[in-house]
Amino acid sequence: MKKVRIGLAGLGTVGSGVMRLIRANSGVIEQKTGLQLEVSAILDLDFSGKEALIPPTCVATTSMEEFEDTEQDITVELIGGTNVARKVIEGALAAGRGVVTANKALLAEQGQELFSLANGQKLRYEAAVAGAIPVVQSLQSSLTQNNIIKIDGILNGTSNYILTRMFEERLSYEEILPEAQRLGYAEADAGFDVDGIDAAHKLALLANLAYSSYVPFASIFVQGIRDIKVIDIEMADRLGYMIKPLGIAKIVDGHIEVRVHPTMIPKSHPLSTIRLENNGVFYDTDYSGEGSLTGKGAGSLPTGSAVVADIIQLGLQNTNPLPFTTEQKYSIAEAQHIQSRFYLRVMTQDRPGVLAKISGILGDHDISLASVMQLESNTEIVPLTMVSHKANEQSMMDALMQVKKIPEISAEEVVLLHIEE
C-alpha cells in the first residue's frame, strides 16, 4: 500500500465532492490501485459549516504559508480564479509536487507559462473540461494515434440546461437562469456560462490536445445564449433542428477553427439528445471514426470524481501523458476562412419591401436563402426568420451590418446562429 498525501486548496463545491468521494470510496481505491489517499492539509477562507468534511489528522488552515509547509505529495487546486490559484500551483510545482486542478480559466488563459513551469508533466486537469467526462484522458491516450477531424462539444452545463428547458417547456432564458444557479451548475459569475466564456476555456484545452497546438484563448470566436428567444427555439424546431451551445474545433485549410456559439444542429445529431446540465463531446477521427463521450459536466460529486481520477494517475506515477502544447502550430481561422449555413432572425415593422431589402443585401454578398418564414401576427413588430445556404462567415457579418441599418428593423434584436449539419 502506498500512501499519497494530498493538500487540498479550496473546500467549495468541487472540494467537498473530492472529500466525500475519498472518504466513501477509499476501500475501492485501495483495492484497485494500492493507493491510500490521505488529505493531509486543506486551505480555505472559511471552514464554518464544513467541519464534518475535515479528517481528524488533517491541518485545516486559512494561511497559505501554513498550507504550503505541510507534507504533500500532490496539491489539488480548487480555488478558482487566476490569482491565488496560480500562486498555489506555482508553489506546488516549485516544491516538486504533483498538481491537479479543475481551473479551466487559469489554464486556458495562462497555460503557456504554467505548463512551461510544469515541463509538460505533473499537472493534470481532467476536471477542468466537461466535469466527470473522461475527455482529457481520452485525448491524451486512447485517441492519440488518430488525426482528429473535428470536435463538437457541449461544454457548458448551465447553457445546455437553459436551452434544454427553453426547448422542452418554452420558458424564457430569464425564467430559467436562476434555477441553474440554485442547482449549483453556474460559475460564481454566471456571465462566464451564458456568454460562452467557460466553454471557450474548455475548448482551448481540448483543441490543444487534439491538434498539439497552443490555442490563445482570446482568439476563440465566442457568442453566448442571452439573445436567444423562444421564437428561435420554435423556428429551429419546425425546421428539424435544436439549438445547442457548441464548442467546435477543426482544421480548415491549414488553420485551426475554434468557435463557441449557440448552434442549430439536426435532431439526428448525437449531441441533440444531451439534455439539461449534461455535457457531451462528439469527435470524428481518421481511424477510430466517429464517437462521443457524454455525462455530467458540472456538480460537486461528478467534478470531484474527475479530480480524484487525476490524483490516482499521479499517485500511480502516470505523470507523462500527452502534454499541453505551449507552441502555436496552427494560426486561427478567421471569419473569411469559415463557411456555414446561417439562421437569421430580425424583428421588423410589418411593411412592404422589408424582405426585398434584406434579400437584396444578402444577394449582394453572395448569400443565397434556403427558406424564409414570417408567422402571421397582428402586432406591429413581427419576427422574420431566414435560413441561408452555405455562405462565407465574413460576408454574412458584413451583410448583417447593413441589415441592421434598415429603418424598419430593430438593430438590437437581430439574432444570427450557425447551423451545423
Give me the active site residues, please: 202
Rg, C-alpha atoms of the chain: 23
Residue 2 grid coordinates = 502506498
**At CA 216, angle to CA 102 and CA 305, rounded to 5?**
15
Instruction: Report whether 180 contacts 158 (CB < 8 A).
Output: yes
Confirm or reject binding of residue 298 to ligand HSE (CB under 6 A).
yes
When the beta carbons of 263 and 395 are compared against ligand HSE, the nearer one is 263
Which helix (DSSP H) or strand (DSSP E) does residue 246 occupy? strand 241-252
Q: CA dist 341 to 233, 251, 261, 332, Å?
A: 17, 18, 14, 20
Confirm or reject binding of residue 125 to ligand HSE (CB under 6 A).
no
Among the listed residues 321, 300, 295, the one whose alpha carbon sits nearest the alpha carbon of residue 132: 295
Owner of C-alpha cell 422574420: 384
Confirm or reject binding of residue 185 to ligand HSE (CB under 6 A).
yes
Owner of C-alpha cell 453572395: 366
When the beta carbons of 185 and 282 are compared against ligand HSE, the nearer one is 185
When the beta carbons of 183 and 335 are compared against ligand HSE, the nearer one is 183
Q: Shortest distance, CB of residue 128 to ligand HSE, whole angstroms?
A: 8
The one among 187, 232, 257, 420 contacting ligand HSE by CB under 6 A: 187
**At CA 120, angle to CA 205 and CA 326, rounded to 5?**
55
Residue 421 DSSP SS3: coil
Confirm or reject binding of residue 109 to ligand HSE (CB under 6 A).
no
Confirm or reject binding of residue 271 to ligand HSE (CB under 6 A).
no
Confirm or reject binding of residue 297 to ligand HSE (CB under 6 A).
yes
Q: Shortest distance, CB of residue 177 to ligand HSE, whole angstroms?
A: 11
Q: Shortest distance, CB of residue 284 to ligand HSE, whole angstroms?
A: 23
Confirm or reject binding of residue 186 to ligand HSE (CB under 6 A).
yes
d(CA 373, CA 229) in angstroms, rounded, equals 16
The one among 16, 75, 101, 158 contacting ligand HSE by CB under 6 A: 158
The length of the chain is 421
When the beta carbons of 152 and 393 are compared against ligand HSE, the nearer one is 152
When the beta carbons of 128 and 367 are compared against ligand HSE, the nearer one is 128
Q: Shortest distance, CB of residue 157 to ligand HSE, whole angstroms?
A: 3
What's the number of CA atoms in the CB half-sphere (13 Å) around residue 370?
Answer: 12
Q: Shortest distance, CB of residue 376 to ligand HSE, whole angstroms?
A: 38
Size of the site for ligand HSE (CB under 6 A): 10
Confirm or reject binding of residue 195 to ligand HSE (CB under 6 A).
no
Q: Shortest distance, CB of residue 131 to ligand HSE, whole angstroms?
A: 6
The one among 15, 157, 247, 295 contacting ligand HSE by CB under 6 A: 157
d(CA 418, CA 416) in angstroms, rounded, equals 7
Instruction: Report whether 335 contacts 256 (CB < 8 A).
Output: no
Which residues here bind ligand HSE, judged by CB under 6 A?
156-158, 185-187, 193, 198, 297-298
